[in-house]
Amino acid sequence: MDLYRDYFTREQLLLSLAQAQYIPGQLAEHFETLEDVYSTSIPIEELAKDAVSPSDPVPRGAPSDPMALGKARVVPFETKTYSREIPVLADSVLNARRPGSMGAEVMAHRRDRAAEKLRNWADIQHEWLRVSCVNAPSNAFGTAPGDAVVAFGANDSAIRSALHTSVVQPLEAALDGLTYTGIDAYCSDAFWLGLIESKTIKETYLGYAAAAELRGQTANSFVYGDIAWHRYRPQGGIKIADGRCKIVPRGVPGLLVQAFAPDDTNESVGEGLASEPYYLRAFPIPDDKGWRLKMQTHPVMVCTRPEAIQTLKLTA
C-alpha cells in the first residue's frame, strides 16, 4: 500500500475534510465557540450579573459614583471524546475500478467519501450535544425553571398577555439586565402541530406559509407575540423533548458556549496545538489491506445562565 500512502498524509486528510460539506445544526448559531483551548478540563466563566441602572446627577467636578463588576464564578467542565472510523479497503478499490481508470483515483474518491461521512457524523454529534444542553441546561451555574404553560386555545389578547407574563418577563428577570436581540422558540413536532392548529394562531401561520410557498420554501418558522417560533426538525434521534418547546434568548454573548479539547495523540500533545472541532487521522490496516480513517472530536456544551432557558408546555 506504499503506492497510496501519499493519499493519506495529514495534508491530504485536511484537504478532504475542508472539502466535505458542513451540516449546520439549528442551534449552532446560539453557541459561542471558546478559542485557545489546550486541555481536556475547560474553565468556563459564569455569565456575570452586571445589570446597570440610572443614577442621580453629581455636582460638577465632584467624584463619580462608584460601580463594581459583578462577581462571576469560573467552573471547570470536562470534555468528552466521541470517535468513529471507516475502513478504506484495497479490495473495495479493486472492485470499484472501471476499465481505463486508475486505482489511485478510486482510492482518493473513497477517501473523500469517508472523510465527508465522518465529518457529517461529527456535525450531527455536535448538534445532539447542543440540543441536550438546551433540553437540560441545569449545571453548576444554576437550575432551569420548571415548565410554563400557555393556553393557546384562548383569544389573541389572552395569548399575548400570557406569553408576556409567562415567557418574556421571567426571561428578562433571569438575564438580570443583560440585553438580548430576540426570542427563539424551538418546538417539538407535537408542540408545533398543536401550535399551528390553534384557531387563534392558525391565521398568522397560514400567512407565513403562503409567503414561503411563493418563495418555494416550507414554513417551518413564523413570528407571533414577539417570539420567533421554529419547528425543530428531528434528525438522527436529535429532537426537542416531546410535547415541549424550548425558549432561548437570542444575541446574549456567552449564554451558550461550546469548546473543544485537543486530540489525544502524540502529535497534538507534542506540538502544543490549540483545539479543533474535528480530528481526522489515517492508519494502515494490518497485512496491507487498506487504510482506517478515524474521526475524533472532544466537545463540551454549557449554558452559563440556566435560568434563562425556559420550557413551554402546550395546552388547549
In this predicted model, what pLDDT tens digit does every residue of 79-122 receive, in sequence order?
A: 999 999 999 887 776 654 555 555 667 778 888 999 999 999 99
If asked whether residues 24 and 153 sit together in one domain, one would say: no
Residues 251 and 264 in one domain: no
Query: What are the tens digits of pLDDT across the range 197-246?
Result: 988 898 888 888 888 776 777 778 999 999 999 999 988 889 999 999 99
Q: Is the pLDDT of residue 280 over 70?
A: yes
Q: What is the pLDDT of residue 3?
A: 55
Strands 148-151 and 290-297: unpaired
Same domain, 11 and 130: yes
Q: 239 with 96, same domain? A: no
Domain assignment of residue 178, yes or no: yes
Look up the domain containing 109 and give its range. Answer: 2-46+78-137+260-300
pLDDT at 272: 59
Residue 53, in any domain of the structure: no
Which helix H or strand E contains 228, and what residues bound it? strand 227-231
Taking the CA of residue 124 as centre, how many other CA atoms within 13 Å lie in the half-sphere pointing to its CB? 15
Same domain membership, residue 293 and residue 156: no
CATH number at residue 286: 3.15.30.10
Ramachandran category for residue 46: left, alpha or beta (phi over 0 → left; psi -120 to 50 → alpha): beta
Which single residue is written with the C-alpha cell 455569565?
Answer: 47
Mean pLDDT of the chain: 88
Shared domain check, 18 and 41: yes
What distance, in Å, lies between the first and last C-alpha atoms of the chain?
A: 65
Is residue 31 in a domain? Answer: yes
pLDDT in tens, 15-67: 888 888 777 799 999 999 999 898 999 999 988 777 777 888 988 888 888 88
Which grid coordinates are listed for 101?
481508470
Q: What does the pLDDT look like over 161-198, one tens digit per residue?
A: 999 999 999 999 999 888 999 999 999 999 999 999 98
Q: Please give the model's pTM, rounded to 2 decimal places.
A: 0.88
* Sign of the dihedral defined by the CA atoms of residues 96, 101, 102, 105, in that order: negative
Q: Is the same domain home to 268 and 250?
A: no
Higher pLDDT, 146 or 217: 146
Domains held by the chain: number: 2
State whether 24 and 159 are in the same domain.
no
62 burial via Cβ count (<10 Å: 0-12, 13-18, 19+):
exposed
